[in-house]
Amino acid sequence: MTQLLLTGGAGFIGSHTCLVLLQEGHNLIVLDDHSNSSPVALERVATLSGLSASAESSTERLQLIQGDIRDSTCLGKVFIDARNAGKPIEAVIHFAGLKAVGESVREPLRYWDVNLTGSRCLLAAMNANDCRTLVFSSSATLYGYPKDVPIPETAPIKPINPYGHSKAAVEQLLHDLAASAPNQWRIACLRYFNPVGAHPSGKIGEDPLGTPNNLFPFVSQVAVGRRTSLQVFGGDWPTKDGTGVRDYIHVMDLAEGHRAAIDCLLAEPAQLLTLNLGSGQGASVVEVVRAFERASGCQVPYEVVARRAGDAAITVADPSLALQRLGWRTQRSLDDICRDGWAWQSANPSGYSDQQ
Ligand code: NAD
Ligand code: UD1
């Protein structure tokens, strides 16, 4: 049983990953400030993992600490308390961060602070406590407007917004750190494509604050009647039906990618891995709408409007390196994504606030 720290583990991707890692037998400490998540998510993770039957085992296997990754005192205490309890933290999965592109353009200082300063504080605490195994949540946003699709990891890093710049800076910091102490750091930078969907139980899922920026939660909220219609950003892209094409990855496939990355880092010599996590398949906006209508039995009315600034026509991963290095590939289809996304949205029309 490995003791893992998950920063931002109460969020969308973190909560699903917690579930997979608990089922794998790991012990988890989640550090989250709840700036973009509800504690209810982890209560449900505990129930789904069968932990809530015993409060004691629940606290032993899944511990939630409310705190900020920029708070070095809090971080130091997390590592020291775990060591004093006889279960030192062996590896960290670093999800905590801000992720809204438009917001990052309006508030670059906040994005650089949370995403870069927060990562630096975490890395310093890890180093000081001899914990040098890390999985970092990176993003396909690093590729900007990709020239070649499917996109290999060797494609140029050309972010086009402060969010992307902050992720690129953390990847650079991780390279510098690994180079400074050869054979010590085990690092995986996982570049996610478009994570969507939910756990098939419908108990946990994505719960964006306010109006969703991203396609999938917007479509779900139209289907459930929270919004009247979808705006499709551009019908004149050079794609199969004129709408933007993306590589949508089921969040449970992504969670399993983290399990594979942790297993690989802990089993192999020190290394720095950089991997795309995507399906390798592209779906257009209209294909997503149609798949969601089939899964939900609900209409998703839409109108085609002007292109959104900063969008690319097609973004699809070349995920072959992740298969080679981790033995991981996606298992779930767009229809599975929509079925599970609908299970979550229909059971929780207002997200976790339905319970609070
Ligand atoms: P999320 O917002 O649901 O989860 C992030 C979590 O971090 C939240 O629970 C939030 O409360 C917490 N957090 C934020 N700032 C914090 C701080 N200063 N201290 C402690 N906790 C803090 O987002 P997500 O979709 O689960 O994304 C997780 C990671 O993956 C992020 O780093 C994001 O940039 C990256 N990523 C996400 C996507 C996506 O589409 N969801 C795509 C690529 C990369
Ligand atoms: C967006 C971010 C990207 C981030 C990713 C995380 C932008 C420009 N890019 O990517 O940095 O890593 O989220 O998942 O914000 N669409 C509509 N109507 C909508 C919303 C989206 O037509 O209301 C279209 C978009 O034009 C695009 C597709 O749906 O073609 C997917 O959009 P979205 O879900 O926002 O993801 P990305 O643009 O790929």
CATH number of residue 141's parent domain: 3.40.50.720
Please, which pLDDT band fits residue 59 given cuts at 50, 70 and 90?
low
Q: In this structure, which ligand is nearest to the CA of 6?
A: 1
DSSP state of 350: T
Between the alpha carbon of residue 297 and those of residues 50, 64, 103, 220, the distances in Å are: 32, 38, 33, 12
| 155 has pLDDT over 50 | yes
Contact 242, 293 (CB under 8 A): no
* Shortest-distance atom of ligand 2 to CA 311: 8
Largest pairwise CA distance in the chain: 60
Per DSSP (E only), the strands in the chain are: 3-7, 27-32, 62-66, 91-94, 133-139, 186-192, 194-196, 230-233, 245-246, 248-250, 272-277, 283-284, 302-305, 314-315
**Cis before 208 (ω within 30):** no
User: Would the pLDDT of 52 be above 70?
Assistant: no
Range of the structural domain that residue 275 is part of: 3-355
Q: Work out how many domains the chain is built from and give that number.
A: 1
- Is the pLDDT at 122 greater than 90? The verdict is yes
Q: Average pLDDT of the chain?
A: 95
Mean pLDDT along residues 242-269: 98
Rounded to whole angstroms, the Cα distance separating 244 from 132 reads: 39
Residue 1's pLDDT is 81
* Ligand nearest to C-alpha 161: 2
Rg (CA), the chain: 20
Q: What mean pLDDT comes out for the span 245-254?
A: 98
Could you tell me which residues come within 8 angstroms of residue 296 by beta carbon, excluding any fewer than 6 positions away? 223, 224, 338, 342, 346
The residue to which tokens 């996304």 are assigned: 341
Residues 144, 164 contacting (CB under 8 angstroms): yes
- Please state the rounded mean pLDDT for residues 11-18: 98
Q: Which residues make beta-bridge pairs with 230?
A: 302
> Does 93 score more than 90 pLDDT?
yes
Q: How far is the CA of 96 from the centre of ligand 1 (A)?
A: 5
Residue 266 clears pLDDT 80, i.e. is over it: yes
Asked if residue 119 has its Cβ within 6 Å of ligand 2, the reply is: no
Per-residue pLDDT at 58: 52
Would you say the CB of residue 311 lies under 6 angstroms from ligand 2? yes
Query: Side chain identity at 147, as an amino acid letter?
Result: K
Please say whether the beta carbons of 225 and 171 come within 8 A: no
In three-state secondary structure terms, 72 is helix
**275-287: pLDDT as tens digits:** 999 999 999 999 9
CA 248 to CA 196: how far, in whole Å? 6
For residue 24, the CA-to-ligand 2 centroid distance in Å is: 32
**pLDDT class for 233, splitting at 50, 70, 90?**
very high
The ligand placed nearest to the CA atom of residue 137 is 1
**What is the rounded average pLDDT of the residues 119-142?**
98
User: Residues near 36 by Cβ (< 8 Å), separated by ≥ 6?
Assistant: 11, 98, 209
Using the mean position of ligand 1's atoms as its centre, give its distance from the Cα of residue 241 in Å: 32
Quickly state the pLDDT bin for 53 (edges 50, 70, 90). very low
77-86, 217-226, 346-355: range with lowest mean pLDDT: 346-355
pLDDT single digits (tens) 163-207? 999 999 999 999 999 999 989 999 999 999 999 999 999 999 999
Residue nearest atom 22 in ligand 1 by C-alpha distance: 96
pLDDT band at 51 (very low <50, low <70, confident <90, very high): confident
Residues flanking ligand 1, CB < 6 Å: 7-8, 10-14, 32-37, 68-70, 95-97, 99, 114, 118, 137, 139, 192, 195
Annotated active-site positions, please?
A: 163
Closest ligand 2 atom to residue 140 Cα is: 12
Rounded to the nearest angstrom, the distance between the alpha carbon of 114 and the centre of ligand 1 is: 10
Q: Report whether 212 contacts 218 (CB < 8 A).
A: yes
| Residue 215 alpha carbon to ligand 2 centre in Å | 6
